[in-house]
Copies of this chain bind each other. A is one copy, B any other.
Amino acid sequence: MRNVTADNITEVFAAYFGPDTDPRLRQVLLALARHLHDFAREVRLTHAEWRKGLEFLEWAGRITGPERNEFVLLSDVLGLSSLVDMMHSVPGATSSSVLGPFHVSNPPPLPIGGDLKGAWEGEVVLVQGLVRDMQGNPIPGATLDIWQTAPNGMYSSQDPEQDIHSFHALMTADETGRYAFTTVRPVPYTVPDDGPVGEILRAAGRHPWRPSHLHMIVAAPGFRTLVTEIFPEDDPYLDEDTVFGVRADLIMRYQPQPAGSFPAEGFALSGKVDGPWSRVDFDLVLAPEGVEEAQAAAAG
């Protein structure tokens, strides 16, 4: 077109696709361009605002690397990450929630009953539950990749004081689907706000806090891998997670336990916990592989 206009540019964009373009790719790319164009037209985006947006992306690019991903964080605070999670959650299975930028590869194995907190101080929390399918059957041998903040509010990848695998572990459920470990409470923390995302949050009058949570990636052959987080019911930020990660079914309860009642066997800390401790019971329900496709086929 030698006469592209503000009104016809989306049609011109659509006309540029080649005849052999993959239909799904065409659908996604055309919808992306159309919504981008509609956004720009709706707000009558100025050059200065367009330039500012590009500068934010450039800035995000400069600070993104193996241990920090500002693009994921941008998607998180815009609600896009959570929206994608929620659209593909399966009713009846545990909801998924944002992966976040702090997952570390190759976590060290931790046996059932192992301790995640290492040398860190704090009230012991015992977390346990079953990994099961949507019919209630245990999933023996499911793996749980578990990570959380240290009591100082930092993940290992943010904190030069911590080993990179501090508060990261890989656990394999037993033949009954059971997992169990001890730790200390994760704490609320702020997402990194010294980059463009922080500038956006401040400009929007938003805080950078997330409620405290335990991250898990739960996987087993024949099941959809579940990326999720679980949140305590009494966290002050539960209703205003800056990355929109909380779902009703991901809320856990710290159940206070009296001093001296810690299990005598089966835990690395058995015999070492004298004071009060807390217990969390949380089952993880996996959807079968292909369930979404089957539901879509049934609906369609």
Residues on A close to B: CB < 8 A? Answer: 1-6, 9-10, 12-13, 16-22, 25-29, 31-33, 35-47, 49-50, 54, 57-58, 60-62, 64, 69, 71-72, 75, 78-88, 200, 203-206, 231, 238-240, 242, 244-248, 251
Closest residue of chain B to A46 (Cβ to Cβ) is B88
Are B37 and A3 interface neighbours, CB within 8 A? Answer: no
What's the minimum C-beta distance from A259 to chain B, rounded to whole angstroms? 32
Q: Name A35's contact: one of B10, B27, B36 (CB within 8 Å).
A: B36
Are A13 and B244 interface neighbours, CB within 8 A? Answer: yes
Are B79 and A33 interface neighbours, CB within 8 A? Answer: yes
Residues of chain B contacted by A17 (CB below 8 angstroms): 204-206
Q: A81 to B46: give the CA distance in the assembly, Å.
A: 10
- Most chain B beta carbons < 10 A, residue from A4, A13, A240: A4
What's the minimum C-beta distance from A208 to chain B, rounded to whole angstroms? 11
Residues of chain B contacted by A16 (CB below 8 angstroms): 204, 206, 240, 242
Q: A240 to B12: give the CA distance in the assembly, Å.
A: 9
What's the minimum C-beta distance from A175 to chain B, rounded to whole angstroms? 30
Are A40 and B71 interface neighbours, CB within 8 A? Answer: no
What's the minimum C-beta distance from A86 to chain B, rounded to whole angstroms? 4
